[in-house]
Structures are given as C-alpha cells and as structure tokens.
Amino acid sequence: MSKSLPKAERLNIRKVKELLQTAVLGRRGLYFREVTSTNDIAKDLVNESKSEGTIVFSETQMEGRGRLGREWLSPEGGLWFSVILRPKVQASHAAKLSLFASVAVAKAIHRLYGLKTDVKWPNDVLIDGKKICGILTETEIKDQKIDFAVLGIGVNADFEVQALPANIRPLTTTLKHQLRREVQREVLLSELLKDIESYYHMFEKQKFNEILEDWRRLASFLGSDIRVQTDGEIVHGLAVNIDNEGALVVRLEDGTMRNITSGSIVAISDEQHPEHVDE
Ligand code: BTN
C-alpha cells in the first residue's frame, strides 16, 4: 500500500511548486500518503485555518467518496485532491462550482495531451465516453451565502485500468491507458490548478453565462436520448440543455420538459438529434 510507495513514485511536491502558475490555488497544501478522504481532511482544515486555495492531496484514499453516497476507489497513481474555496457568492449559485471545475479539468487535459474530452452532467469528465475524472463538491452555507466549498477532484491519471474492480472497468479509463505511457502527475496537477483558478475567478465575478457556455460546448451528450437516475426513478428522454442554474433539461417522450437538479446520467444513446438542442 502507499506506506511502501517508493520515493520516485510519490508526487514530487518541490516540482509541483516550481511548475505552479497560480496566485492562490495550491500555494498552500498538505500532502498525505494515505487518508480516509481528502474532502474530509479539507473540511476539518477550513474550521481551523480558513485558508482559501489550500489543497489536500493524497496518494490513496481508504474511504474516497463519490457523488450520491457512492464509494470512490483511489489507487496509487491517481490525482486525488481537494481544494478549499471561500467565494463571496450567493448559495443559489453553488451548483455551478462543480460545473466550472469539470470544464477546467476537461480543458487542461485536452491542452496537455491533445485528447478529446467531454463533460457529462453534472460534472463527470469523459474520454471516449469513459470516466477520467469525477468531482465531489461539498459546501457549507451561512446566511444564504457560500461560507466555504471543498472541491474534491479525482483524476484517473497514472495507473492502469486493471487497478480498478472489473465491474467498473468498462465505464472508466485512465490517462496512462489513453496515452500508452506514464503521466507526469506534477505537470498535470499544476495545469489543473491553473485552469481551476481561472474559472474560479469567472465564478467569483459571476460570469455564469460564460461558464455555462463553455460547459455546453463540451457536453456532446446534448441532443442524445439519455436515461437519468434521479431520486427513486429513471427518467428517459432527450437531453436538450442545461438551464442557467445548471439543471439538466430533458424532453420526455410525451413532449413535456423536465428540469432535473440531482441525479446521474446512466445511459446515452449513440444516435444524436442535434436539431433538438436549445441554442
Ligand atoms: C464522483 O464522480 O462521484 C465524484 C468523485 C470524487 C472523487 C474525489 S477524489 C478526491 C476527493 N476526495 C473524495 O473522497 N472524493 C473526491
């Protein structure tokens, strides 16, 4: 396990610091070989230091958490980290935190490796239709404002798909698998932080339309028939758009529109109906 991880395979913090081009994000951070969940450590830290931009990174997580109460497996070689943000923004905009983070991750990966990346509502990043990154954002609200947010980001970076259980392999990919070579996690982490910081500035300035437009451009599932698992039911219909609050807009078979605020897309048909996508 991570306690025996050879030094050469651990994240080189000095190199990350040298490469970092951010003003705030990642300038302070904590590095662990193994934690329960980086989101939990980050949340504890907020209460102590209130430090915006601090990142918590771990080589592995024993209790990594995904959205909707799911487990998140975190083998060595991944990028498992959480960033503390303290935006002075109304709580009603909290859903857009995950949206901007997924756009930032998708863009950084595309720029670095030339791989085509997509986003899948609400905040998965995909390559070849398979998940390369998941994001779990947890917020604390005070007086109807965001008191703090912990942006938990998991990128399947420098490990083989075989490190994951057989049942999730068909839905998952890794950068190492896509590139057929090793991935320099220090470079990837510093580029991710750069893009996350620049989208965070947009978010703070409430440039939500620009964020949503960038997200829509990367959302190639829009215009496809989809199935969405929501609270206790599966919704089937055409993915039309996301609305200005980040809810998924689906046209049901009877023609009615449904705005879904929480759930996961469980299937996307290959057939596209682009003429139905809202502009
Ligand atoms: C999802 O797709 O369901 C979200 C996965 C989020 C995983 C990351 S890894 C770093 C941070 N710590 C956690 O326990 N989860 C997030």
Q: pTM for this structure?
A: 0.94
Tokens of 209: 């339309």
Which residue ranges have their beta carbon within 6 Å of ligand 1?
Answer: 37-39, 61, 64-67, 70, 72, 80-82, 124, 134-136, 152-154
Q: Which of 58, 62, 72, 138 to mutate to test the pocket of ligand 1 (most atoms within 8 A of CB)?
A: 72
Which atom of ligand 1 is the closest one to the Cα of 74?
9
pLDDT of amino acid 6: 80
> What is the model's pLDDT at position 232?
86
Atom of ligand 1 minimally distant from the CA of 154? 9
For ligand 1, the distance from its centroid to the CA atom of residue 73, given in whole angstroms, is 9
Confidence of residue 271 (pLDDT cuts 50, 70, 90): confident
Categorize the per-residue pLDDT at 151 as very low, low, confident or very high, splitting at 50, 70 and 90.
very high
- Closest ligand 1 atom number to CA of residue 66: 3
User: Looking at ligand 1, which atom is closest to the CA of residue 67?
Assistant: 3
DSSP-derived letter for residue 19 is H
Q: Whose CA is nearest to atom 2 of ligand 1?
A: 134
pLDDT band at 150 (very low <50, low <70, confident <90, very high): very high
For 109-138, what is each residue's pLDDT tens digit?
999 999 999 999 999 999 999 999 999 999
Burial class, 265, CB count within 10 angstroms (exposed 0-12 / middle 13-18 / buried 19+): buried
- Between CA 223 and CA 161 the distance in angstroms is 30
Residue 211's pLDDT band, with cuts at 50, 70 and 90, is very high
Q: Where does residue 206 fall: left (phi above 0), alpha (psi -120 to 50 degrees), or beta otherwise? A: left
- DSSP assignment string, 132-167: EEEEEEEEEEETTEEEEEEEEEEE--SS-GGGS-TT
Residue whose Cα lies nearest atom 7 of ligand 1: it is 154
- pLDDT range class, residue 49, cuts 50, 70, 90: low
Kindly tell me if the per-residue pLDDT of 275 is higher than 60. no
Of all protein residues, the one whose alpha carbon is nearest to atom 3 of ligand 1 is 66
Structure tokens at 31: 């590095």
Q: Are 158 and 182 in contact (CB under 8 A)?
A: yes
> For ligand 1, atom 11, which residue shows the shortest CA distance?
152
Which ligand 1 atom is nearest residue 78's CA? 9
- Residue of 269, 208, 273, 271 lying closest to 242 (CA atoms): 208
Nearest protein CA to atom 9 of ligand 1, as residue: 154
CA of residue 137 to ligand 1 center, whole Å: 8
Q: What is the mean pLDDT of residues 254-266?
A: 94
